[in-house]
Amino acid sequence: MSVEHQPSAPEQNEKAQAELNEAAHERLEQLKANTETHETHPADQRAEKAREAIRKQEQAPEPAAVAEAAPKSGTTIPFFNHKLNYAQTLASVQRKLAPVSRSFSKVIHTPAIEKTSEVLEKTVARPSVTAGALWTALIVGALFYFTARRYGYNLAGSEITLSFFIGGILGLVLEGLWRSFRRKAR
């Protein structure tokens, strides 16, 4: 008859506590070893990566056209690089779009289409031109339509288009007068 010794509950607790203390001590030693080899904090690592990117950008040769147009200040601040900020913001927003919208956005924001849009925005598609053309086409078109209907005339179809162009020119003229009046008033 062999009787095995079963440890009592206090002995088991002491043994478990000793094992926990030993494991905690080993983990503490590992953490100390890691902090000695990697003393940089994640935020410090990100900051260092950003500094490296800035240095690379400052050291990168500029194209001739950009170099001539840029002021000779010595250093450029990436924060004020509007083209880079625009590209990053556009890419960030496009990542959040649905696939179809993302594709459409990429087409719309190609350099050729953006330049064309900016030129049109400064000339033909100005708010004064658009508003003048719209209201003139609406008023003149309605007058032609009701007059033709009342007296039995046939419309050729070019009345609305012609009044649209005349309204655009009228909108430009009114905007020019408004701007000259505001300059004189100052």
Q: Tell me, yes or no, whether 88 lies in a domain.
A: no
Residue finishing a domain among 34, 49, 68:
68
> Which pTM was predicted?
0.39
12-21 pLDDT, tens digit each: 778 878 888 8
Classify residue 38: in a domain, yes or no.
yes
Domain boundary among 68, 89, 105: 68
Could you give the percent of the chain with pLDDT greater than 90?
17
How many domains does the chain contain in total? Answer: 2
Q: What is the 3-state secondary structure (H, E, C) of the chain?
A: CCCCCCCCHHHHHHHHHHHHHHHHHHHHHHHHHHHHHCCCCHHHHHHHHHHHHHHHHHHCCCCHHHHHHCCCCCCCCHHHCHHHHHHHHHHHHHHHCCHHHHHHHHHHCCHHHHHHHHHHHHCCCCHHHHHHHHHHHHHHHHHHHHHHHHHCCCCCCCHHHHHHHHHHHHHHHHHHHHHHHHHHHC
Domain range for 150: 125-179
Query: Is 20 contained in some domain?
Result: yes
Boundary (domain end) residue, out of 68, 83, 98 = 68
